[in-house]
Amino acid sequence: MIKKYMLFDLDGTLTDSKEGITKSLQYALRYVGIEVENLDVLDRHIGPPLVDGLREIWGLEEEQVQEAVTRYREYFKDKGIFLNAKYKGIDSLLEALVKADKTLILATSKPEEFARKILAHFDLDRYFEDICGATMDDTRRKKTDIIAYALMKNGIRDKEQVVMIGDRFHDIIGAKENGISSIGVLYGYGSKEELTEAGADAIAGDLAELKEILIG
C-alpha cells in the first residue's frame, strides 16, 4: 500500500497513553458519582471521542457529560498528559517514512492543543508535516471530521494517495467516509475482529509489519 500521504492516529498508534487517559477518566467520573477502581475497565475510551464515550458507555446526561469533560481536562492537562510512552520502534518507523519522502500528518480525536504538546514532549513532532486534532468546544471531534479537516487544511485532493493508520474502528470508518484507504494496527487497543468488521484495507500486527505494508 504505497501512498504519499500518511495520516496517523495518536493514542494506541504512536503512543501508549493508557495510564494518562484512564486516570483522568477515573478522576472525572468520580465527579458525576461513578467510582471506577479497575482502570482496565476504561480501556474502551482510548481512541474514540471522549464526549461520545461518556454518553454511550456510561449513559450520562448532558450536564453530567460537560462536568466530566471539564474534570477530565483539568486532570489531563496537569498530570495525565505525560503519563504516556512512545511505542518501542516508533521513531525508527517514522524516520524511515520521512526518508522515503512520505508526508506524515497526525489525525487524532484528542484535542489538538494536547496533541501538539504530546508530540513535542516525545520529540515526534519533527516527523509530521501537520498536527490535526479535535477542538476544545467539540465542534470537531469525530474522526471522520478530523480526517476531512486534515485533507482540506493540507490541500490534499488525490485521495488515492492517502492512507489512515489507527488502532480503533473509528479510524477505519473515518477513512472510509472520506474515501481513503486504511490500515488497522493490533499493538494498540482495538481487536482484529473490530478492525476487520470496520473494513480495514490491511491489518498490521506490529510496527515491522506496518513498515512492510507502507514502504516494503
**CB distance 210 to 165 below 8 Å:** yes
pLDDT at 165: 98
pLDDT in tens, 130-166: 999 999 998 999 999 999 999 999 999 999 999 999 9
What's the rounded mean pLDDT across residues 14-24? 96
Given 9, 16, 145, 171, the catalytic residue? 9
pTM: 0.93
What's the rounded mean pLDDT across residues 42-54? 89
**For 153, how many CA atoms within 13 A lie in the half-sphere containing its CB?**
15
- Does 18-82 match 5-16+85-215 at the fold level? no
Instruction: Give the pLDDT band (50/70/90) at residue 49.
Output: confident
Give 3-state DSSP helix, strand, coil % of the chain, rounded to 5. 50, 15, 30
pLDDT surpasses 90 at 47:
no
Looking at the structure, give the CATH architecture of the domain made up of residues 18-82.
Answer: Orthogonal Bundle (1.10)
* Mean pLDDT score of the chain: 96
* pLDDT > 70 fraction of the chain, expressed in percent and rounded: 100
Q: Which three cell numbers stand for residue 156?
A: 490534499
Contacts of 54 (CB under 8 A, 6+ apart): 60, 64, 65, 68, 69
In the chain, where the domains are located: 5-16+85-215, 18-82
164/184 Cα distance (integer angstroms): 8
pLDDT at 129: 98
pLDDT surpasses 90 at 1:
no
- Examine the residue annotation and report whether 145 is marked as an active-site residue of this protein: no
pLDDT at 138: 86
pLDDT at 216: 87
pLDDT surpasses 90 at 107:
yes
pLDDT at 199: 98
CATH assignment, 5-16+85-215:
3.40.50.1000
pLDDT in tens, 111-136: 999 999 999 999 999 999 999 999 99
CA torsion sign for 169, 113, 91, 157 is positive
Phi/psi for 11 (5° steps) reads: -65, 125
pLDDT at 48: 82
Residue 155's CB is within 10 A of a number of other CB atoms, namely: 6
